[in-house]
């Protein structure tokens, strides 16, 4: 607390404005010296602008008009006060009895008016800044304008004392809306937007009470003071933080919507190329999972807010620096200042059609006032897959193949068994003799299990209150498990924020990235290569002893990896914004215009070279590897063409956003009012063209070298445009720092829909009640702050695609050929249009508490929400027969409800010895229920299979009763059927070791009518995070745990189903745990030579919990003591080591639980990219890094 009592301090504080604030800032000279030339030029010119004299108010110049008929002096003073910003200070005694004044002045200076008024009195006046002192001093001593010297104001014994002053925070920033009251009375005023207040108090014994949400209240004895400046100390810094909300910012204390936010620095802890996967668990209410795997440049997580709330697209809207930009991948995590998640209707309503799934607001860093600061941040990491399937070695493969042979061939003979037992037994010796014929393969050796990644970032920032600048350059490079698979990103971010006049602010920001993705030959893919490595039959040569590529059933894994073909893409993205903000002559009113232009250009070049492998042409040769002759061959077994081709694609897009803002904030008594209106228009254009030429004779990767036969050409291209318009409003009032009400919304339109059906209105209302301001909670010990929030509103989502209201035909190429193979174009009727198609609508209700306990030691936030989504696009195909023959565009007929609860609890404490400990945890539980959807009578009428009323994504299948045992085969014929007393028809012939299903309807056959729910959705209902931090004497430790629960995963994969694909290997997960007569307790069904229909049905035999807890990030850092760094003229140096995905606790031992795998996805076993273990593995990363600030 610091109370200024001396005019001297007033004087210093109120430095005449005409000198400009540059002078106030002693740092400016330093900045001027070191800034870049351009900034000097800019700053200089701004200084010139600023030097224009600002009209300072004096009582000589300020004119008033006053009429008094037998009025009192007090009345006169009041009238002058009403017409000017001046305020009178006087001793009641002095002016008592000065009545019957008659005056009529038009447009006279205050000084002149006062001279007239006081002409017949002993009183004199003088201006002390914006105060006019009326004193009894001899007039000669009084200057008409200006101020007296410090300390010279004689304070008389005032009867009614008028006090003025300014309330600021500890950083010197003015605090508007602070309640200032005279203790023991109802006399209260509120500070204006500049933090100034004026209050009249009874006498010098009065005590002023300053109160403001989130700050320690202060009592100040008036005593002899006329000017009381107060600095309030925050009791919890959180509440006063400015948080970014839709189309603006708010103090956390005044937020009534459900939002959560996280600092960029916290997200940047994890060594990732983008923040999609680091959000989950950091902030409540966000579910994110890296379902797509960990391929460099393609490892973004899919994420959703408040669980799954629509059967359609659950992706939230991404907003970067106030502009809707789906550019989360292009933003360097180092350049992120903060991320705010908008969850409830009040928070998302300003986004109208884009808001229903929640909004992610990413704010990038901008300049900060202060000396230029140069920071570097570098890290280097090593990646290792979290899980990698273990496939059988040659001996185990052969044993299992033989076992399956006998299972499937009741009359199998030793002579015909696939592998002689002697080969199996002697395999190691055979390999030693002839590694080409009896290979021992190591497919793991094909992949880099220590692929490096690195990030380097350089940041320069600084500024004055007139101009602030920020520049950032980032480099990120990630190598892959395959050498061809890399991702490189150069990112930059520059912004200049200048007050070009006292009322005009201009912000120019440009950021962008250049991304280079390199990938394997276009005729394959990393997931195909992983798949082929799991498929590789271990007795087939991967690589011959002379280094030539071998093959397995015509697939050459090594041939594909060694191909010099490539699929590379280069993407240039620029996000540019210019903002001009103008304060208007009306107090508190400002306008802002923003224009942004975001062009993006992407080129890809795909060059395929045939996959060459070798075969032995004299397999009967004796004498070992050296005796073999090799011939080359081209692998075409699963589709890669034998010819060379080149495909190039160029796509361009441009996004334009125009925003006009009208902003108001004002204080009326105890009401602090804000208003916002935004008109926004967006439009975009997209165009692409692609060309492919097949059958290159020369292996030169240029289009002009391609075949001249036009049948080898494929040329395509398309373009599109889109636009939308919206009007946003938000009005709010905070009464007495206690009651907060807000209304917001958007009238929004999109080109997606039919003319006349393009616009929608999305209003929301919210309120907050700071309960700790009420008497009954005021003195509860330990309870510093408690706010109750509630909101209700509508938001929307643009589902589906554009133009679904049009009945059209789609043109295609190469439909058919007549005559001598002349190809002709074709066209087909597109899905039947839905002329009434419109947006999805969500109605959200949210109630929450925010609180602080024990002087900020504990802060918490709890939210419970309910939302109903209607108008979900559901395919109405079930409403027409299959014979209808054409797809129907979805219609807005689905609805579902979602409810959930989430909370955040945090604590931070610094002990006297310097040890600082912190813990922040959050937990979200979201459930949903489909209340209306299209389903057939068949599923609806069976209570077991009814989709309506169940959660979206609920998985259905058969109820497995376990495996048939040998005892079930009563007649020992190897087959379980009616002869054994089992009268249920399952799927084909069944044997001991096959899965037994429950015939729930007792009709003697297992069919769709016997299906039941067999698990939750694949998307977890629970997600939680716990961040633990500690620091002591320069050391800091962070451990961040993330977890998920209540999800069901399918377990049918390559490693649990043997020989899942033709010519494929099996996994140890199966091998070590499968049923056989000698291992009757094995879990997995008996071995067959190929998956049987019976054992691959979707059932709860193939499910497991998807719950997991993982140590997502752990970090240990050390900051070199400032004593040492100071000597080196460095502000700060910190070293750290960190790890990502270090530990995982899960029921799944062979698959990363984060990847997910729906049970119904079992049909995809063996499909590249669709079977979970063929997805590029997620990576565990160990990183070492350095942060330094100069």
Partner 1 sequence: MINLKKISCILLVGVLVAASSCKKYLNDNVSKTSINDATQFASTTNADIFLNSIYGYLSNENNVPDQLDNFTDDNDGGYYWRSYHWKAGSVGPSVDNGQPMSDYSGSYQINANDYTAWIAEFGSGSGCYAKVRACNLFLQKIQQYSANFNASWIAQRTDEVRFLRAFFYMQLWQHVGGLVLLTTVEDNNTETKTQLDQARSTFEQTFNFIDSELAAVIANGNLAVKYNNGDPNAGRATLGAALMVKGWAELFAASPAWNSGNSPTGVADPNNLIHFASADPTRWAKAAATFQQFMTNYTQYSLFPNLSQLWYATNKYNSEIIWDRQCVAGIIGSTGDNYEQYGGPVYILGTYYTWGNYCPTQELVDGFRMANGKDITDPTSGYDPQHPYVGREQRFYQSIAYDGAPYFLPWMPKTDTIYTRIDKVHPSLNQIDFAQSDVSNTAYYSIKRLNPVAPPGGSFASGQNYVYFRYAEVLLGYAEAQNEAVGPDATVYAAMNKVRTRSNLPALPAGLTQAQMRTQIHNERRVEFCFENKRWYDIDRWLTASALLNVDRHGMQITNSSPNDDKGVWVYTPVLLNHPHVFNQNMYINPIPNGVIAQNPSVLQNPGY
The minimum distance between CB 551 and partner 1, in angstroms, equals: 6
Rounded Cα–Cα distance for residues 64 and 618 (Å): 113
Looking only at residues 1124 through 1183 of this chain, which bind partner 1 when binding is defined by CB under 8 A? 1162-1167
The minimum distance between CB 247 and partner 1, in angstroms, equals: 13
**Per-residue contact flags (x/-) with partner 1 for residues 683 to 702, judged by CB under 8 A:** x--------x-xx-------
**C-beta of 474 vs 1091, nearer to partner 1:** 1091
- 997 with 961: CB under 8 angstroms? yes
Q: 357-382 burial string, b = 16+ CB within 10 Å, else e? A: bbbbbbbbbbbeeeebebbebebbbb
Helix axes 73-83, 110-118, angle to 10 degrees: 180
List beta partners, residue 259. 342
Rounded Cα–Cα distance for residues 719 and 722 (Å): 11
508 binds partner 1, rule: CB under 8 A: no
616 binds partner 1, rule: CB under 8 A: yes
Total number of residues shown for the chain: 1190
532 binds partner 1, rule: CB under 8 A: no
Sole window of 101-109, 222-230, 363-371, 630-638 interacting with partner 1 (rule: CB under 8 A): 630-638
The minimum distance between CB 1154 and partner 1, in angstroms, equals: 25
563 binds partner 1, rule: CB under 8 A: no
Looking only at residues 342 through 381 of this chain, which bind partner 1 when binding is defined by CB under 8 A? none
Q: Which two tokens stand for residue 927?
A: 């459930």
User: Of 103, 107, 106, which is closest to residue 61 (Cα–Cα)?
Assistant: 107
The minimum distance between CB 67 and partner 1, in angstroms, equals: 37
The minimum distance between CB 582 and partner 1, in angstroms, equals: 5
Rounded Cα–Cα distance for residues 7 and 22 (Å): 23
- 191 with 168: CB under 8 angstroms? no
Looking only at residues 14 through 33 of this chain, which bind partner 1 when binding is defined by CB under 8 A? none
Rounded Cα–Cα distance for residues 572 and 656 (Å): 16
**Per-residue contact flags (x/-) with partner 1 for residues 1048 to 1087, judged by CB under 8 A:** -----------x-xxx------------------------
Looking only at residues 84 through 113 of this chain, which bind partner 1 when binding is defined by CB under 8 A? none
The minimum distance between CB 679 and partner 1, in angstroms, equals: 4
List beta partners, residue 1103. 1050
List beta partners, residue 250. 243
- 201 with 207: CB under 8 angstroms? no
51 binds partner 1, rule: CB under 8 A: no
Q: Report which secondary-structure segment, H or E, holds 51.
A: helix 37-51
The minimum distance between CB 415 and partner 1, in angstroms, equals: 8
**C-beta of 292 vs 418, nearer to partner 1:** 418
Which of 143, 233, 697, 989 binds partner 1 (CB under 8 A)? It is 989
581 binds partner 1, rule: CB under 8 A: yes
Looking only at residues 706 through 765 of this chain, which bind partner 1 when binding is defined by CB under 8 A? 711-712, 714, 718-725, 727, 749-751, 755, 758
The minimum distance between CB 1124 and partner 1, in angstroms, equals: 47
Looking only at residues 1090 through 1109 of this chain, which bind partner 1 when binding is defined by CB under 8 A? 1090-1094, 1096-1098
Cα dihedral 889, 891, 896, 901 in deg (nearest 10): 70
User: Of 992, 991, 990, 987, which is closest to residue 1005 (Cα–Cα)?
Assistant: 987
619 binds partner 1, rule: CB under 8 A: yes
**C-beta of 595 vs 860, nearer to partner 1:** 595
195 binds partner 1, rule: CB under 8 A: no
Looking only at residues 786 through 825 of this chain, which bind partner 1 when binding is defined by CB under 8 A? 802-803, 806-825
The minimum distance between CB 941 and partner 1, in angstroms, equals: 10
264 φ, ψ to 5°? -60, -35
- The three-state secondary structure class of 563 is coil
**C-beta of 637 vs 1132, nearer to partner 1:** 637
Looking only at residues 448 through 507 of this chain, which bind partner 1 when binding is defined by CB under 8 A? 500-501, 504, 506
- Class of residue 508 by CB neighbours under 10 A (exposed 0-12, middle 13-18, buried 19+): middle
Which of 265, 374, 458, 580 binds partner 1 (CB under 8 A)? It is 580
Rounded Cα–Cα distance for residues 776 and 783 (Å): 12
The minimum distance between CB 1058 and partner 1, in angstroms, equals: 10
**C-beta of 789 vs 991, nearer to partner 1:** 991
The minimum distance between CB 711 and partner 1, in angstroms, equals: 6
- 164 with 85: CB under 8 angstroms? no
Task: Return all residues near 755 (Cβ < 8 A) that are at least 6 apart.
Answer: none
612 binds partner 1, rule: CB under 8 A: no
Rounded Cα–Cα distance for residues 239 and 213 (Å): 8
The minimum distance between CB 881 and partner 1, in angstroms, equals: 3
The minimum distance between CB 558 and partner 1, in angstroms, equals: 15
Rounded Cα–Cα distance for residues 39 and 466 (Å): 12
Looking only at residues 108 through 147 of this chain, which bind partner 1 when binding is defined by CB under 8 A? none
196-201: strand order across its sheet: 3-4, 229-232, 161-169, 196-201
Residue keyed to tokens 């334009």: 656
Alpha helices in 262-374 (DSSP H): 264-267, 345-348
Q: Which two tokens stand for residue 327?
A: 């550019």
- 570 with 514: CB under 8 angstroms? yes
Rounded Cα–Cα distance for residues 749 and 697 (Å): 53
**Per-residue contact flags (x/-) with partner 1 for residues 540 to 559, judged by CB under 8 A:** -----------x-xx-----
The minimum distance between CB 1052 and partner 1, in angstroms, equals: 9
**C-beta of 603 vs 758, nearer to partner 1:** 758
Q: Report which secondary-structure segment, H or E, holds 446.
A: none
Which of 14, 658, 769, 1032 binds partner 1 (CB under 8 A)? It is 658
Looking only at residues 931 through 970 of this chain, which bind partner 1 when binding is defined by CB under 8 A? 936-939
170 binds partner 1, rule: CB under 8 A: no
1001 binds partner 1, rule: CB under 8 A: no
**Per-residue contact flags (x/-) with partner 1 for residues 828 to 847, judged by CB under 8 A:** xxx-x---------------
Region of residue 545 (left: phi > 0; alpha: psi -120 to 50; beta: else): alpha
End-to-end CA distance of the chain: 32
Q: How many residues bind partner 1 (CB under 8 A)?
A: 143
Which of 633, 693, 963, 1175 binds partner 1 (CB under 8 A)? It is 633
Which of 594, 933, 1017, 1103 binds partner 1 (CB under 8 A)? It is 594
**C-beta of 411 vs 913, nearer to partner 1:** 411
**Per-residue contact flags (x/-) with partner 1 for residues 869 to 898, judged by CB under 8 A:** --------xxxxxxxxxxxx----------
- 472 with 264: CB under 8 angstroms? no
Which of 79, 592, 787, 1110 binds partner 1 (CB under 8 A)? It is 592
Rounded Cα–Cα distance for residues 257 and 94 (Å): 53
- Rg of the chain over Cα atoms, rounded to whole angstroms, equals 37
- 363 with 261: CB under 8 angstroms? no
- Class of residue 1044 by CB neighbours under 10 A (exposed 0-12, middle 13-18, buried 19+): buried
**C-beta of 174 vs 641, nearer to partner 1:** 641
418 binds partner 1, rule: CB under 8 A: yes
The minimum distance between CB 580 and partner 1, in angstroms, equals: 4
1013 binds partner 1, rule: CB under 8 A: no
436 φ, ψ to 5°? -80, -35
- 791 with 304: CB under 8 angstroms? no
Which of 588, 641, 675, 763 binds partner 1 (CB under 8 A)? It is 641
409 binds partner 1, rule: CB under 8 A: yes
């Amino acid at each position: 607390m610091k109370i200024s009592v001396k005019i001297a301090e007033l004087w210093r504080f109120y430095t005449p404005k005409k000198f400009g604030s540059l002078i106030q800032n002693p740092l400016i000279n330093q900045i001027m010296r070191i800034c870049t030339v351009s900034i000097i030029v800019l700053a200089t010119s701004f200084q010139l602008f600023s030097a224009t004299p600002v009209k300072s108010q004096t009582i000589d110049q300020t004119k008033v008009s006053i009429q008094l008929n037998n009025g009192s002096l007090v009345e006169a003073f009041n009238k002058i006060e009403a017409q000017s910003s001046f305020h009178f200070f006087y001793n009641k005694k002095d002016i008592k009895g000065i009545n019957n004044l008659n005056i009529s002045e038009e447009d006279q200076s205050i000084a002149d008016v006062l001279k007239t008024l006081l002409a017949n009195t002993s009183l004199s006046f003088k201006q002390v800044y914006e105060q006019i002192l009326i004193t009894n001093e001899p007039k000669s001593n009084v200057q008409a304008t200006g101020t007296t010297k410090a300390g010279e104001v004689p304070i008389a014994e005032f009867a009614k004392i008028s006090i003025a002053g300014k309330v600021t925070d500890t950083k010197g920033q003015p605090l508007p809306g602070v309640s200032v009251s005279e203790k023991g009375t109802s006399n209260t005023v509120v500070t204006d937007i500049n933090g100034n207040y004026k209050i009249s108090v009874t006498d010098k014994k009065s005590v002023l009470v300053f109160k403001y949400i989130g700050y320690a209240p202060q009592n100040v004895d008036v005593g002899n003071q006329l000017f009381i400046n107060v600095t309030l100390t925050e009791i919890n810094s959180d509440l006063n933080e400015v948080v970014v909300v839709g189309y603006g910012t708010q103090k956390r204390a005044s937020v009534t919507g459900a939002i959560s936010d996280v600092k960029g620095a916290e997200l940047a802890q994890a060594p990732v190329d983008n923040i999609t996967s680091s959000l989950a668990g950091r902030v409540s209410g966000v579910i994110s999972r890296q379902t797509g795997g960990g391929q460099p440049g393609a490892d973004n997580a899919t994420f959703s807010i408040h669980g799954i709330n629509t059967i359609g697209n659950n992706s939230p809207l991404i907003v970067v620096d106030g502009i809707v930009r789906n550019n989360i991948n292009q933003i360097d995590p180092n350049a992120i200042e903060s991320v705010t998640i908008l969850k409830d209707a009040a928070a998302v309503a300003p986004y109208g059609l884009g808001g229903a799934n929640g909004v992610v607001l990413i704010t990038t860093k901008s300049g900060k006032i202060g000396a230029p600061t140069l920071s570097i941040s570098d890290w280097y990491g090593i990646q290792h897959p979290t899980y990698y399937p273990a496939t059988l070695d040659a001996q185990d493969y052969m044993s299992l193949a033989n076992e399956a042979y006998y299972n499937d061939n009741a009359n199998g003979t030793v002579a015909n068994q696939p592998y002689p037992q002697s080969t199996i037994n002697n395999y190691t010796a055979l390999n030693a003799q002839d590694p080409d014929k009896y290979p021992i393969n190591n497919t793991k050796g094909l992949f880099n299990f220590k692929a490096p990644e690195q990030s380097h970032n350089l940041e320069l920032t600084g500024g004055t209150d007139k101009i602030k600048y920020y520049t950032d350059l980032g480099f990120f490079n990630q190598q892959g498990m395959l050498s061809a698979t890399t991702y490189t990103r150069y990112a930059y971010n520059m912004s200049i924020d200048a007050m070009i006049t006292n009322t005009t602010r201009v912000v120019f920001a440009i950021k962008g990235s250049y991304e280079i993705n390199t990938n394997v030959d276009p005729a394959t893919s990393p997931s195909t290569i992983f798949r082929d490595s799991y498929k590789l039959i271990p007795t087939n040569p991967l690589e011959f002893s002379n280094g030539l590529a071998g093959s397995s059933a015509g697939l050459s894994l090594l041939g594909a990896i060694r191909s010099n073909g490539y699929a590379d893409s280069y993407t240039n993205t620029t996000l540019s914004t210019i903002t001009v903000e103008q304060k208007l002559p009306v107090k508190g009113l400002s306008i802002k215009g923003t224009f942004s232009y975001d062009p993006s250009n992407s080129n890809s070049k795909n060059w395929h070279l045939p996959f060459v492998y070798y075969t032995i042409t004299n397999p009967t040769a004796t004498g070992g590897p050296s005796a073999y002759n090799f011939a080359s061959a081209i692998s075409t077994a699963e589709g890669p063409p034998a010819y060379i081709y080149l495909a190039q694609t160029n796509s361009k897009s441009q996004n334009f956003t125009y925003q006009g803002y009208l902003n108001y904030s004002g204080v009326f008594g105890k009401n602090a009012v804000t208003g916002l209106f935004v008109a926004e228009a967006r439009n975009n254009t997209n165009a692409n063209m692609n060309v492919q030429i097949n059958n290159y004779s020369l292996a030169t990767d240029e289009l002009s070298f391609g075949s001249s036969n036009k049948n080898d050409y494929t040329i395509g291209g398309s373009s599109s445009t889109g636009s939308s318009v919206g009007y946003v409003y938000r009005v709010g009032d905070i009464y007495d720092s206690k009651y907060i009400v807000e209304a917001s919304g958007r009238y929004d339109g999109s080109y997606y829909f039919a003319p006349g059906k393009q616009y929608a209105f999305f209003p929301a209302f919210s309120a907050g009640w700071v309960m700790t301001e009420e008497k009954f909670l005021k003195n509860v010990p330990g309870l510093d702050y408690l706010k109750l929030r509630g909101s209700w509103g509508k938001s929307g989502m643009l589902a589906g695609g554009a133009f679904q209201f049009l009945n059209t035909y789609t043109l295609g190429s190469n439909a058919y050929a007549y005559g001598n193979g002349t190809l002709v174009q074709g066209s087909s009727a597109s899905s039947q249009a839905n002329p009434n198609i419109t947006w999805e609508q969500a109605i959200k209700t949210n109630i929450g508490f925010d609180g602080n306990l024990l002087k900020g030691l504990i802060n918490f936030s709890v939210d419970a929400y309910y939302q109903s989504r209607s108008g979900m696009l559901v395919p109405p195909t079930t409403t027409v027969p299959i014979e209808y023959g054409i797809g129907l565009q979805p219609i807005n007929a689905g609805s579902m409800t979602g409810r959930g609860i989430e909370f955040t609890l945090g604590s931070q404490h610094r002990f006297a010895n310097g040890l600082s400990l912190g813990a922040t945890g959050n937990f979200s539980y979201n459930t949903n229920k489909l209340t209306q959807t299209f389903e057939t009578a068949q599923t609806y009428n069976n209570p077991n299979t009814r989709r309506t009323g169940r959660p979206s994504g609920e998985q259905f299948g058969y109820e497995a009763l376990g495996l048939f045992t040998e005892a079930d085969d009563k007649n020992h014929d190897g087959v379980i059927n009616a002869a054994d007393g089992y009268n249920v028809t399952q799927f084909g012939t069944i044997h001991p070791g096959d899965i037994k299903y429950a015939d729930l309807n007792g009709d003697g056959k297992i069919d769709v009518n016997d299906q039941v729910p067999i698990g939750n959705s694949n998307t977890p209902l629970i997600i939680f995070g716990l961040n633990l931090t500690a620091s002591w004497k320069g050391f800091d430790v962070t451990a961040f745990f993330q977890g998920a629960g209540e999800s069901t995963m399918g377990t049918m994969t390559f490693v649990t189903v043997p020989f899942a694909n033709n010519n494929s290997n099996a996994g140890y997960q199966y091998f070590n745990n499968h049923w056989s007569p000698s291992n009757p307790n094995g879990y997995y069904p008996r071995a067959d030579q190929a998956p049987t229909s019976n054992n691959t049905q979707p059932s709860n035999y193939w499910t497991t919990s998807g719950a997991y807890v993982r140590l997502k990030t752990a970090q240990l850092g050390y900051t070199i003591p400032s004593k040492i760094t100071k000597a080196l003229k460095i502000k700060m140096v910190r070293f750290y080591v960190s790890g990502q995905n270090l530990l995982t606790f899960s029921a799944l031992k062979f698959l990363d639980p984060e990847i997910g795998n729906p049970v119904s996805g079992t049909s995809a076993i063996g499909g590249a990219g669709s079977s979970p273990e063929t997805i590029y593995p997620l990576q565990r990363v160990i990183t070492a890094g350095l942060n330094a600030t100069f």
